[in-house]
Chains A and B, each alone.
Chain A
Amino acid sequence: MEVGRVKRVAGPVVQAVGLKASMYDLVLVGEEGLMSEVIGISGDKHIIQVYEDTSGIKPGEPVKETGGPLVAQLGPGILTQIYDGVQRPLPLLAERSGDFISRGLFVDGVDHKKKWEFQPLVKKGDTVKPGQPIGVVQEQLLIKHKIMVPPKHKGGVVKEIYSGNFTVEETVCVLEDGSQLTMLQKWPVRQARPVVRKLPPTIPLRTGQRVIDGFFPLAKGGTAAIPGGFGTGKTVMQQTLSKWSDVDIVIYVGCGERGNEMADLLHEFPELVDPRTNRPLLERSIVYANTSNMPVAAREASIYTGMTTAEYYRDMGYDVLMTADSTSRWAEAMRELASRLEEMPGEEGYPAYLAARLADFYERAGRAEILAGGEGSVAVVGAVSPPGGDFTEPVTQNTLRIVKVFWALDSRLTQRRHFPSINWLDSYSLYEKDLESWYAENVAADWNQLKRRAMAILQENAELEEIVMLVGSDALPEDQQLTLEVARMIINFWLAQSAFHPVDTFCPYKKQYDLMKAILTYRDYAFDALHRGVAVDQIKSVPSKDALAKLRMVEDYEPELKKVMDQMKAEFEALK
């Protein structure tokens, strides 16, 4: 392999000469051998982004080739880990270099010394295909890690298969052609792992968030973007989704965001339990933390490293959720690096390939028939941080062209502390139609109708509010005043949901349905009473109405709800 030399250093970008490396090959820069990647080749020069701080690097220092691209290490032990953007375990970095990250450290993404109990799934003489599990390791109490024939391996007939305790480097299976399989795979992070074919998204990904599950649902294997100015609730939403979504594996990528947020996550995940399994959330999670002050090239890579691990678990047949906070920081990393290459910038200084990169990334999501047979999925939720909260900027616009769900965060709602601040008129989900039959079968036959009624009320409310802004609410006809009141109930009692309330943070489907049904029942009683000639003020002040407000905070709400609804019925019957 060639050894070149540094020609120029300007920030995280280095130019070198004397190399033969290909695009995206990993190279080691300088005496310390800093991990770096080739991002451009021009004439005899290689342009290299360095994943670490370049202070002190001088022209003339060596650049060594490694002969391949940046890969993720995949094998048992990656769950519960916290990595930087190039998959170095942060706790190990802390052991080596203390509380501040120093550079030039190499740490494997997977522990090469630890032994795992390998249980074979195939026997001597079996033919195995690419992607097929040959054995299994109990990685966590409830999560089995399938050991698969690597996707690019051609497979073959099993000559030897072992069982017992092995490290990830030891051979667990030998094929007739002599190839030896271990529990470790290495996969180039910028390349999608193959599947047989993509499947339509017809199963909802339950999040326990009323506004999402009810109005703008995500599907298993779906893609969603959550754009919003600072402080509108992107991070809290991503963390909430990571906690309560009904998926098997969660990949949380903190891309260019805050260190304290990561500390918060690492503090909470071991303590909170997955409502499906009652096991600590950490057991199903992998965290990538490349905070805003960590090297920008590693930030750029973190999205791909995260996606590669997500696909790997999908290939085992799991449903995976990957959240990326924030994809704008990733795009900015691209911009920062591109500008050092002196590339012709596109819109707002972003490189011309921004749209293509975004599309390639979201394209790796999906529900799929996997090589092993059966299915798995990777859903992606990307936060977008538009400058000035203005959604017309390039990252938001290019993202919206690709993703199927748009949760539009609205700072006017944030200022009222209405959370989640998802604007119910601007947001959309293109999965809604595909999921209706699932809801009708699994939640309630009339759930889809109820939601449509509620949305119609919210839309009418928006129109009425404009009139109110001109004339005041008392000038409206009585039926419209009632509509405003019902809309207010939907907004405050149902759409609003506190991520920090121990009960309200997660709302099961049944409760979502029951609470909405209760509000719309009030509406029916109310209009009925109005037609009987009861005064609006009386209708608005039935005490049971406000009792509905607090049911979302009650865990065992059903007996209470029944009481409130019986009371409501009686109260309305008593209204003359």
Chain B
Amino acid sequence: MTKEYKTITEISGPLVFVEKTEPVGYGELVEIRTASGEVKRGQVLDTSDEIVVVQVFEGTGGLSKDSSVRFTGDVIKMPLSPSIIGRVLSGSGRPRDGGPPIVPEVEREIIGAAINPASREKPRAFIQTGISTIDGTNTLVRGQKLPIFSGAGLPHNDVALQIARQAKVVGEAEQFAVVFCAMGITNEEAQHFMADFERTGALERAVIFLNLADDPAVERLLTPKLGLTTAEYLAFDLDMHVLVIYTDMTNYCESLRQMGAAREEVPGRRGYPGYMYTDLATNYERAGIIKGKKGSITQFPILTMPGDDITHPIPDLSGYITEGQLIVSRELHRKGIYPPIDIRPSLSRLMNSGIGAGHTREDHRAVSDQLYAYYAEGCDLRGLAAIVGKEALSERDKLILEFADQFERRFVNQGRDEDRSIIETLTIGWELLSMLPETMLTRIDDKYIKKYHPKYAGTAKKE
């Protein structure tokens, strides 16, 4: 039996300092019992002969120097069994749906060991989301981590839900299982997700972790770890393809900052801890495919950029770790375009392995590059047109300007339930490109122009 201590010397924010203990392991799970009998869980952050520092996840409210502390001799683990599917849990993994506790078949450490890079399978199964700005120009593959960078008040949740509803690997019947982790979002937002999961039946294939705005902030540091441990179980033990959606990473990072401040650490950029990159990586890197295993983990973290600033440390460090980013743009949203994804700063780094002959279509890369080039140029020209007037532009520039407008209206804009096939997306792309003279399509091999350009439709042999 492990001993209980009543030697708390200090409670400071989320931290509890305990003295005169037997040797305690770094990272150990700690249980602290309040006078009212409530048990709060925490973790050892610093351990020495003299003092042990514990970070308490479920808030230090109600704790006093008389509270008794028990070091469990074990690290934090997530209880797992197939019956977890369909459950709604709290941000620290306790049932929140009135159901019984999870009876574990296995228990897994929530600080997951790193996947051995040599054991990783290269992700390349094209996921069709039915959204043109993703499928056509920022293609997602199974095993990728692709965050949505957004701003307050923008429809990122709708985009995430539309992806969750429509995502499929063409030719495979199996649907994705969903692990949803809410961190500090409002009850209303959470309800929005839950209602959609219920409406579409996704809830039956989902595990939900909810830490809402009024739940303890430090608990948020656990939530994605619990969710990802669950996802790994579903993917690599139960052979499922899992989509992990977690929102809002910004709240998670705020909790990290708060912890750092409580520990009086030397802060890094804008007050966030210097180890935030590494910490975020231990979440984001838990996506992928393992050689010889059937399942996979694909991640969609959502984060709102403070002040819409992409250079803020939260989106910045995220972008350095994830395999691209989808940018939800306020400007497009104001124009009434949905989904307001600005493709210019968006990127899918794994696009290349999921497109082309055998995946989508041979002309995909070239079409995408050409669309990007003229859309970007068109956006630049808008600035010029605003200064010198449209009339002062050359014919070429006027064409490109018109192209950019049409691109937003026809390619970017689509219905909230519109599920476009990749062929439909590419067809729209070609229609737009055919607004331009053929000689301007300098990024596309002639053989694709002959085969797919609407002008030649019917003349060349199709596959």
Which A residues form the contact surface with B (CB < 8 A)? 7-11, 15, 53-61, 82, 90-91, 93-94, 98-103, 229-231, 254, 256, 258-260, 262-264, 266-267, 289, 291-294, 296, 329, 332, 335-336, 339, 345, 348-349, 385, 387-390, 411, 415-418, 468-475, 492-493, 498, 500, 543, 546, 549-550, 553
> With an 8 A cutoff between CB atoms, is B2 at the interface?
no
Interchain CA distance A546-B25 in the complex, whole Å: 69
Q: Is the CB of A473 within 8 A of B397?
A: yes
Q: Are A500 and B388 also in contact (CB < 8 A) when A54-B26, A263-B122 are?
A: no
Residue of A nearest to B444 (CB): A550
Nearest A-chain residue to B445, judged by Cβ: A553
Q: Are A472 and B115 in contact (CB under 8 A)?
A: no
A389 to B313, CA, bound (A): 11
Nearest to B265 among chain A residues (CB) is A339
> How far does the alpha carbon of A418 sit from the alpha carbon of B211 in the complex, in Å?
42
**Is B424 engaged at the interface, CB distance under 8 Å to the other chain?**
no
Contacts of A9 in B (CB 8 A): 25-26, 46-48
User: Do B285 and A291 have beta carbons less than 8 Å apart?
Assistant: yes
Q: Verify if B393 is at the interface (C-beta below 8 Å from A).
A: yes
Cross-chain contact A472 with B49 (CB below 8 angstroms): no
**Is B25 within 8 A of A388, CB to CB?**
no
- 15 interchain pairs (CB within 8 A)? A8-B47, A10-B46, A11-B26, A55-B75, A59-B49, A99-B115, A260-B123, A289-B118, A292-B278, A293-B114, A348-B269, A388-B311, A469-B384, A469-B387, A473-B397
Q: Does B294 contact A (CB under 8 A)?
A: no
Chain B residues near A417: list those with CB within 8 A.
369, 372-373, 376
Q: Which residues of B contact A8 (CB under 8 A)?
A: 46-49
- A236 to B372 alpha-carbon distance, docked (Å): 19
Interchain CA distance A231-B109 in the complex, whole Å? 33
Cross-chain contact B114 with A101 (CB below 8 angstroms): yes
Cβ contact within 8 Å between B266 and A345: yes
Contact assessment for A260 and B144 in the assembled complex, using a CB-CB cutoff below 8 Å: yes
Cβ contacts under 8 Å, B115 to chain A: 99-101, 259
> With A and B bound together, what is the CA distance between A90 and B347 in angstroms?
30
In the complex, what distance in Å separates the CA atom of A388 from the CA atom of B115? 28
- Of B23, B121, B311, B325, which contacts A59 at CB under 8 A? B23
Determine if A550 and B446 form an interchain contact, defined as CB atoms under 8 angstroms apart: yes
Chain B residues near A411: list those with CB within 8 A: 345
Whether the Cβ atoms of A474 and B442 lie closer than 8 Å is no
Contacts of B344 in A (CB 8 A): 415-416
Query: In the complex, which residues of chain B have a beta carbon less than 8 angstroms from the beta carbon of A345?
Result: 266
- Distance in angstroms from B319 CB to nearest chain A CB is 4
Cβ of A348: which chain B residues have Cβ within 8 Å of it? 268-269
Are B122 and A264 in contact (CB-based, < 8 A)? yes
The yes or no answer to B27 lying at the interface (CB within 8 A) is yes
Residues B27 and A54 in contact, CB atoms below 8 Å apart: yes
Within 8 Å CB of A53, what residues of B? 111, 113
Whether the Cβ atoms of B28 and A56 lie closer than 8 Å is yes
Contacts of B120 in A (CB 8 A): 259-260, 262-263
Query: Quick one: given A470-B388, A471-B388, are A291 and B114 in contact (CB under 8 Å)?
Result: yes
Task: Give every chain A residue within 8 A of B25 (Cβ-Cβ).
Answer: 9, 55-58
**Closest Cβ of chain B: how far from A349's Cβ, in Å?**
5
CB of B157 within 8 A of chain A?
no
Q: Which of B253-303 contact A (CB under 8 A)?
A: 265-269, 274-275, 277-278, 281-282, 285-288, 290-291, 293
Q: Cβ of A54: which chain B residues have Cβ within 8 Å of it?
A: 26-27
The answer for the CA separation of A61 and B350 in the assembled complex, in Å, is: 45
Q: How far is the CB of A42 from chain B (nearest CB, A)?
A: 15
How many Å lie between the Cα of A471 and that of B393 in the bound state?
A: 9
Q: Of residues 231 to 255 in B, which have CB atoms within 8 Å of A's CB atoms?
A: 236
B324 contacts A by Cβ under 8 Å: yes
Residues of A within 8 A of B320 (CB): 230, 385
B288 and A259 contacting across the interface, CB-CB below 8 Å? yes
A387–B119 touching, CB < 8 Å:
no
Count residues of chain B with CB under 8 A from any CB of chain A: 83
**Given A8-B47, A9-B26, A292 and B321 contact (CB-CB distance below 8 Å):** yes
For A94, what are the chain B residues with a Cβ–Cβ distance below 8 Å? 116, 118-119
Whether B118 contacts A90 by the Cβ 8 Å rule is yes
Residues of chain B within 8 A (CB-CB) of A56 are 25-28, 75
Residue of B nearest to A102 (CB): B113
Give the docked Cα–Cα distance between A8 and B288 (Å).
35
Task: From B288, B373, B392, B445, give the contact of A474 (CB < 8 A).
Answer: B392
Tell me, in angstroms, the Cα distance from A258 to B320 when the chains sit together: 9
A263 touches B285 (CB 8 A): no
Which 4 A-B pairs have CB atoms at the shortest separation, nearest pair first? A388-B311, A292-B281, A8-B48, A55-B27
A291 adjacent to B388 (CB under 8 Å): no
Complex CA–CA separation, A474 to B384 (angstroms):
12
Chain B residue nearest to A344 (CB atoms) is B266
Q: Which residue of B lies closest to A471 (CB)?
A: B388
Known contacts A55-B26, A55-B75, A292-B285; is-contact A100 B112 (Cβ 8 Å) = yes
The residues of B that contact A493 with a CB separation of less than 8 Å are: 442
Which residues of chain B (349-407) have a CB below 8 Å from chain A? 349-350, 352-353, 365, 369, 372-373, 376-377, 383-384, 387-388, 392-394, 397
Is the Cβ of B274 less than 8 Å from the Cβ of A471? no
Q: How far is the CA of A296 from the CA of B442 in the complex (A)?
A: 45
Q: How far is the CA of A230 from the CA of B47 in the complex (A)?
A: 37
Roughly how many angstroms separate A99 CA and B295 CA in the complex, as a whole number? 14
Determine whether the beta carbon of A349 is less than 8 Å from that of B266.
yes
| Across-interface contacts of A294 in B (CB, < 8 A) | 114
Contacts of A102 in B (CB 8 A): 113
**Measured between alpha carbons, how far is A230 from B277 in the docked complex, in Å?**
13
- Chain B residues lying within 8 Å of A259, measured Cβ to Cβ, are 114-115, 117, 120, 285, 288
For residue A471, which residues in chain B have a CB less than 8 angstroms away from its CB? 388, 392
Residues of A within 8 A of B118 (CB): 82, 90-91, 93-94, 266, 289
Query: Are A101 and B277 interface neighbours, CB within 8 A?
Result: no
Contacts of B350 in A (CB 8 A): 260
Partner of A260, one of B275, B288, B316, B352: B288
Measured in the bound complex, the distance between the Cα atoms of B317 and A56 in whole Å is: 29
Contact of B353 among A82, A103, A258, A264 (CB under 8 A): A264
The answer to whether A332 and B277 touch (CB under 8 A), given A263-B122, A385-B320, A475-B392, is: yes
Q: Are A230 and B319 in contact (CB under 8 A)?
A: yes
- Which A residues are CB-close (under 8 A) to B325? 231
> A339, B274: Cβ atoms under 8 Å?
yes
How near does chain A come to B204, taking the closest CB pair, in angstroms? 29
- Are A231's CB and B277's CB within 8 A? no
Q: Is B323 an interface residue (CB 8 A)?
A: yes
A57-B25, A60-B23, A264-B353 known, 8 other contacts, Cβ within 8 Å: A8-B47, A56-B26, A58-B23, A258-B321, A259-B285, A415-B344, A475-B388, A492-B442
Interface contact A100-B48, CB-CB below 8 Å: no
Residues of A within 8 A of B36 (CB): none
A293 to B24, CA, bound (A): 25
Q: Cβ of B287: which chain A residues have Cβ within 8 Å of it? A: 260
Least CB distance from B66 to A in Å reads 25
**Interface presence of B45 (CB below 8 A):** yes
Partner of B267, one of A349, A470, A474, A546: A349
B340 adjacent to chain A (CB < 8 Å)? no
Find the residue from B26, B321, B373, B392 having the highest chain A CB count within 10 A: B26
Instruction: Return the CB mask of B42-61 against A: 1 if under 8 Å, else 0.
Output: 00011111000000000000
Q: Any chain A CB within 8 A of the CB of B439? A: yes
- Contact for A389 among B75, B311, B445, CB less than 8 A: B311
With contacts A90-B116, A262-B120, A264-B353 known, is A293 near B282, CB below 8 A?
yes
Asked if B143 lies at the interface with its beta carbon under 8 angstroms from chain A, I say yes
Specify which of B115, B117, B277, B445 lies most central, judged by the most chain A CB atoms within 10 Å of its CB: B117
Query: In whole angstroms, how far apart are the Cα atoms of A291 and B311 in the complex?
Result: 23
One of A59, A263, A329 near B47 (C-beta < 8 A)? A59
Which A residues are CB-close (under 8 A) to B393? Answer: 472-474
Do A472 and B285 touch across chains, with their CB atoms under 8 A apart?
no
Asked whether, in the complex, the Cβ of A231 is within 8 Å of the Cβ of B387, the reply is no
A329 contacts B277, CB within 8 Å?
A: yes
Closest to B348 in A: A231
